[in-house]
Structure 1
Amino acid sequence: MKIIDYKDVLPRELTAATMHGVTGRVLIGKADGADHFCMRMIEVAPGGVIPRHKHPWEHQQFFHSGQGRLLRDGDWVDVGPGSVAYIPPDAEHSIENTGGEPLLLICLVPDFAPEL
């Protein structure tokens, strides 16, 4: 069993060609014996962007704090504390922080997806 404060996990800067202001933490993963999923905390800084992308695995997201928007089916949907999203395999999506504080979200992915 593992019980931690998420802040005890060091954040890792996530980079891609057009990604900026994004860090991630693996909260529960393979190193913990989690054989079927990975729980990640993603932080998008004010003005930060996770660019449009897609991948062959589903994932679920729970927005903990901050304000932003999520690209779904070509349209932007506002998200904030308490928002929940299911993103099916191969669905194009993007996240932008539209507020003045970090946008924090929990993201669950299956075991075959990259942990970060």
Structure 2
Amino acid sequence: MSKPIVRNADDIEYEAVGAADGMAKGVLIGDEQDAPNFAIRRFTLDPGATVPEHTNEVEHEQFVLEGEYVVGIGDEEYEVSAGDSLLIPAGTVHWYRNESDEPGAFICAVPNGDDEIQLV
């Protein structure tokens, strides 16, 4: 059985996302905290950041925290901003582009397990 956990924002370590230019990821709650079903991650997008087309093995539910940026999902492009929510189904091609002068950030919830990324 899982134990409750509260993590301070200062305890979250962010690392650059390898295939992306200007994106960083911090795992807020995940496997290392013994979360039984889901991981919650926070991503940041620097001004001018680009993330190439890719797919993931698991679905993504996202909530935009700050900024405005473009998300490509399948054949569509969406301009998103703080307060918007997205569902990216498993295996769906998607990408990100921050054309603004302000950073962007979003929360991404995913099921635990293999989240293999495939560049397209």
Equivalent runs, 1:1-116 vs 2, <5 Å: 1-16=4-19, 19-114=20-115
Scaled by the length of structure 2, what TM-score is found? 0.87
SS at match of 1:99: coil
Flag as ranges the 4+ runs of structure 1 deviating above 6 A. Answer: none
SS at match of 1:98: coil
The number of equivalent residue pairs is 114
CA contact (8 A) 2:58 2:115 kept: no
RMSD of aligned Cα (Å)? 1.8
1:92 to partner: Cα distance: 0.5
Structure with higher Rg: it is 2
Runs of at least 5 residues in structure 2 that lack an aligned partner in the other structure: none
Q: Percent identity?
A: 28
SS at match of 1:2: coil
1:115 to partner: Cα distance: 9.6
Q: What amino acid maps onto 1:88 in structure 2?
A: P
1:7 to partner: Cα distance: 4.2
CA contact (8 A) 1:26 1:115 kept: no
More strand by share: 2
Q: What amino acid maps onto 2:32 in structure 1?
A: A
Once the two structures are overlaid, the 10-residue window that deviates more, 75-84 or 2-11, is: 2-11
Q: What amino acid maps onto 2:9 in structure 1?
A: Y
SS at match of 2:36: coil
Scaled by the length of structure 1, what TM-score is found? 0.89
In 2, the alpha carbon distance for the partners of 1:30 and 1:84 equals 24
